[in-house]
């Protein structure tokens, strides 16, 4: 899992995103992750837990043990923690990476449901 997190992190660090809203940022992240050769599903359903912005699979077949990527440019930390807790109960996720422009949203527990939670802080885009 660490290598998958590192691959996503490297792809994000190598690109400067320009966006007006969260939807534009998600579109840019989708392009960057695919260009990096990662196996990505956008708006991946986690059943009753909801829909995570991206599910990055450890292999080309989309097997279990994926990395969920949740993009957040606004909202409360409490809401984000509740959302991540729901997501991490799903068996298809081994970890979650939160991509955010807000420092406050980066201050979340390092693990939930015995699964790691990572944060990637982006410099804000063009608003």
CATH of residue 35's domain is 3.40.1350
Question: pLDDT tens-digit profile of 26-55?
Answer: 999 999 999 999 999 999 999 999 999 999
Write down the pLDDT at residue 127: 41
Instruction: Say yes or no to pLDDT of 92 above 50.
Output: yes
CA atoms of 120 and 106, how far apart (whole Å): 8
Listed range (33-42, 53-62, 73-82) with the worst mean pLDDT: 53-62
Of 72, 73, 68, 65, the closest CA to residue 50 belongs to: 68
Q: Is residue 25 part of a domain?
A: yes
Return the pLDDT at 64. 62
Provide, rounded to the nearest whole percent, the portion of the chain with pLDDT above 70: 91
Under a CB-based contact definition with an 8 Å cutoff, are residues 12 and 122 in contact? yes
Structural domain tally of the chain? Answer: 1
Whether residue 127 is contained in a domain is answered as: no
Is residue 126 assigned to a domain?
no
Task: Tell me the residue range of the domain where 94 lies.
Answer: 2-121
pLDDT of res. 2? 83
The pLDDT of residue 65: 78
Check: CB of residue 49 under 8 Å from CB of residue 43. no
Residue 120 clears pLDDT 90, i.e. is over it: yes
pTM for the complete prediction?
0.91
């Amino acid at each position: 899992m660490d290598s998958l997190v590192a691959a996503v992190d490297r792809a994000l660090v190598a690109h400067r995103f320009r966006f007006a809203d969260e939807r534009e940022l998600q579109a840019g992240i989708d392009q960057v992750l695919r260009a990096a050769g990662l196996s990505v599903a956008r708006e991946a359903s986690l059943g009753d837990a909801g829909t995570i912005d991206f599910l990055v699979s450890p292999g080309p077949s989309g097997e279990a043990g994926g990395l969920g990527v949740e993009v957040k440019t606004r909202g409360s930390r409490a809401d984000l923690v509740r959302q991540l807790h729901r997501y991490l109960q799903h068996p298809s996720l081994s970890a979650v990476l939160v991509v955010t422009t807000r420092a406050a949203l980066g201050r979340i527990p390092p693990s939930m449901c015995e699964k790691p939670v990572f944060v990637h802080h982006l410099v804000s885009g063009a608003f």
